[in-house]
Chains A and B, each alone.
Chain A
Amino acid sequence: MPKIFFNKQVIPFKVGQSVLDAMIEFDCHPAYSCKKGVCQTCLLKSDDNQVTSAQKDVKESLIAQGYFLACQCYPKEDIKVNTTDNSELEIDTTIISKTHISSDIVILKLSLPDDKNLIIKPGQFINLTHQDLIRSYSVANNPQKDNCVELHIQKVPNGKLSNWFYNHAKIDDTLKLKGPFGSCIYLDNDLNNDLILIGTGTGLAPLIGIIKQALTNNHQGKITLFHGSRYLDGLYLHQDLKKITLAHDNFMYYPCLSGAVEDKVSLQDKNISQGRVNKIALSKLTQFNSDKFYLCGHPDMVKNMKKMLYLSGADLNNINADPFEYTDYT
């Protein structure tokens, strides 16, 4: 009898039985709902090619990571599968550089743990633990290429860990890393598609990671970035991004300021639009059918933008959204 290797369990199954049914029969208590390949509750991960027929209507960015529907997967031989939260291991990482880039944002570089199974893609996020505090941060570079993990961390009011990072963290401090998570990633087969990236604040971190990877990949479609902030200081990569637009014809950058304009610099800089980033993006976009969208940052902006894009004709499967949910723990 062939077997399913699931985490540490070995589950026998009959050919003709779905992975989900075998798991239910073996009392694994998998999450599921419709058993018809529609609801996507039973998503699991595997790198076995026996799952390819069970990936219908699964988001491309999830397929790229091996996600499949357990209820639609009928393997013929032994197969190894994982739960979607496959990163149960915590790995040590150390701070190798720290740059204060604005009055409330710090750019950290962490050592890339020496673990062949750890593949972190730009745009995904990781969980960091320091003194029992766990927070999620997005990856702003290609860790495998740069041999480090770059994070952009914004101090939030009462934010214990973000304030520690900004004010106290030192080079060589050690943290626990868990992950990666999330599906806001660049896909090689989007080479000719137009990419539209919209972010607020440090929502720029995953977006710049995706943009750099697309440019390294010699992306052929247009890449358009909208970055919103209340104040000029929050457009923390303004100069770098202007340089990228000069170097790449297919990259466009629209910085947007939503707060009151107090300083002359932002008035003089003709690149900067005044207003909320979601409104400005909608006013500049003309077609929605085949573009790939990436939305990161403030949860209200992400939620509103996703709805507006969908209502404008975008395919939900082409919208990758990463709302930066924030909990005030005080």
Chain B
Amino acid sequence: MSDSLFESIGGEAAVNAAVDLFYRKVLMDDTISHFFESTDMDAQRNKQKSFLTFAFGGPNNYSGKSLRDAHTPLVNNGLNEAHFMAVAGHLQSTLDELGVPKELSAQVMAIAAGTIDDVLNR
């Protein structure tokens, strides 16, 4: 199931097309950019790539625990549901801009939404 989503959406090429659109949107959003501004933007961009690969149903090493641990410092810095929804909004508009069909983008958004408890450490 998840393999077929990754294939239908265009696989690795889709991730590569999406990553800069997505990361630029996030960086330009003053309400959340401070969570993503790192001294190492290259590493940050690679993290966005891993996330998109996961959300597009691709092969990944994401585990609930690693997601949780990775976001703990951000939660301690005030990361909340509004921030999560803002990022989700940028993901949706990235998919729309790339012309991803609704039935596929709905699946991507569902995978992303499924991370909310781990991301917010709830």
Interface, chain A (partner B; CB < 8 A): 33-36, 38-40, 59, 299, 303, 306-307, 310-311, 315-317, 323
Measured CA separation A317–B49 after assembly (Å): 14
From the candidates B20, B37, B46, name the one contacting A38 in the complex (CB within 8 A): B46
B60 touches A316 (CB 8 A): no
Contact indicator B27/A316 (Cβ below 8 Å) = no
Residues A323 and B27 in contact, CB atoms below 8 Å apart: no
Q: Are A311 and B28 in contact (CB-based, < 8 A)? A: yes
Given A307-B37, A316-B41: A36 and B27 interface contact (C-beta under 8 Å): no
Which chain A positions have C-beta within 8 A of B24?
Answer: 310-311
Asked if B39 contacts A38 (CB within 8 A), the reply is no
Residues on B with beta carbons closer than 8 Å to the beta carbon of A34: 50, 60-61
B43 touches A36 (CB 8 A): no
B44, chain A: closest CB distance, angstroms: 9
B94 at the interface (CB under 8 A from A): no
Q: Do residues A307 and B27 form an inter-chain contact, with CB atoms below 8 A?
A: yes
Known: A34-B61, A35-B61, A39-B47. A310 touches B42 (CB 8 A): no
Which of B20, B37, B42, B60 touches A36 (beta carbons < 8 Å)? B60
Q: Please tell me which one of the listed residues B27, B43, B59, B61 contacts residue A310 in the complex, with CB atoms under 8 A apart.
A: B27
Cross-chain contact B50 with A39 (CB below 8 angstroms): yes
Q: Is B53 an interface residue (CB 8 A)?
A: yes
Interface centre among A38, A39, A311, A317 (most CB of B within 10 A): A38
**Shortest CB distance B118–A (Å):** 17
Q: Is the CB of A38 within 8 A of B50?
A: yes
Nearest CB on A from B119, distance (A): 18
Asked if B45 is at the interface (CB within 8 A of a chain A CB), the reply is yes
Contact indicator B39/A303 (Cβ below 8 Å): yes
Of the A-B pairs whose beta carbons lie under 8 Å apart in the complex, a sample of 25, sorted by A's number, is: A33-B61, A34-B50, A35-B61, A36-B50, A36-B59, A36-B60, A36-B61, A38-B46, A38-B50, A39-B43, A39-B46, A39-B50, A40-B46, A303-B37, A307-B37, A307-B41, A310-B24, A310-B27, A310-B41, A315-B20, A316-B41, A316-B42, A316-B45, A317-B42, A323-B39
